[in-house]
Amino acid sequence: MRNIILEKIVKLFLNVMLIFSVYLLFRGHNNPGGGFIAGIIAATGFIFYAIIFGTESVKKMIGLSSRKWMGLGLLVVLITAILPVFFSKAVLTSLWVPGDFPLLGALHIGTPLLFDSGVFLVVSGMILTIVISIMEVLEWN
């Protein structure tokens, strides 16, 4: 049975969650937030979406399978880890883009953000993978 109100709410909820998670991801370095939290929040949005619309629609929406999502996250983290080696620094040392930016003012942009994005991808991918596989076994659709 379709419940149109619920469907509308869930769609809205997903959008809000995703925007919120990206916001948390970016503010994470200075304020509460970060990759872990943002990843869980994004995944929660997708979970509710999957509960209402089924796993197939979530799979379609995220395009890349959630497993590849995790792999991508790990790859990003790995690249972040290895990158400093090419600047003759120890593995996993943070690199920072120096200086001020014309419009944005003084900003600290560096590899930690990249690292956090990788964590974000892995965490959300992991939760989605687990939930989707459970839902598929239960034949939730």
Partner 1 sequence: MIKYLPQLIGFLFIAGLMVPLLYPILKAKLGLFLSLIPLTILIVLFSALAGLTPESLYLLPSSWGLLPEMNFGFRIDGLSLVFGLLISGIGFFIVLYAAWYMSKYERQGHFFTYLMLFMASMIGLVFSDNLLVLFIFWELTSVTSFLLIGFDHHLAKSRQAALQSLLITGLGGLCLLFAVVMIGQVAGTYEISVLIERGIHLGDHPKYRLIFVLLLLAVLTKSAQFPFHFWLPGAMQAPTPVSAYLHSATMVNAGVFLLMRIHPVVGGTMEWKYMLMLTGIITMFLGAFFSMGQRDLKRILAFTTISALGTMVLLIGIDTPQSMKAALVFFIVHGLYKGGLFMVAGIVDKSTGTRDIYLLSKLFKPLPFTSIAAVLALISMAGLPPMLGFIGKELVYDAQIQLPGMSWLLLPLGIGANIMMVAISITIFTEVFNPFGKRDPIKVKYREKDFPWYFLGGPIVLALAGLMLGLMPGMLDTLIANALYAAKNQLLNVNLSLWHGFNDVLLLSLFTVVSGIVVFIFRRSLNVHIGRLIDWFDKYHLPTLFAKGIKIYVDRAYKRTQIIQHGYHRFYLLTFFIVTGLLIVAQVNWDFLSVMPDGGYTPLRINLVLLLVVASLAVIFAVFSRSRLSAILAMGVVGYAVAILYLMYGAIDLAITQFLAETVIMVLFVMVILYLPKFAVLSTRNSRIRDWIISLSIGALVTFVVLHARFINLYEPISVYFIKNSLTMAHGRNIVNVILVDFRALDTLGEITVLTLAAMGVYSLFRFKVKKTKSKKEL
Phi and psi angles of residue 24, each rounded to the nearest 5 degrees, phi first: -65, -40
CA distance 128 to 139: 16
CA distance 114 to 18: 18
Among residues 96, 100, 104, 105, the one that binds partner 1 under rule CB under 8 A: 96
Burial class (CB in 10 A: 0-12, 13-18, 19+), 41: buried
Among residues 18, 36, 52, 53, the one that binds partner 1 under rule CB under 8 A: 36
Q: How many residues bind partner 1 (CB under 8 A)?
A: 50
Please tell me whether residue 58 binds partner 1 under the rule CB under 8 A.
no
- Of 73, 57, 75, residue with least CA distance to 127: 73
User: Based on CB atoms, which residue is closest to partner 1, 14 or 35?
Assistant: 35
Among residues 13, 22, 52, 110, the one that binds partner 1 under rule CB under 8 A: 110
CB of 60 to partner 1, least distance (A): 18
CB of 31 to partner 1, least distance (A): 6
Q: Give CA separation, 44 vs 14, 55, 58, in Å.
A: 8, 13, 12
Q: Which residues bind partner 1 (CB under 8 A)?
A: 28-37, 40-41, 43-44, 47, 51, 67, 70-71, 73-74, 77-78, 81, 88, 92, 94, 96, 108, 110, 112, 115-116, 118-119, 122-123, 125-127, 129-131, 133-138, 140
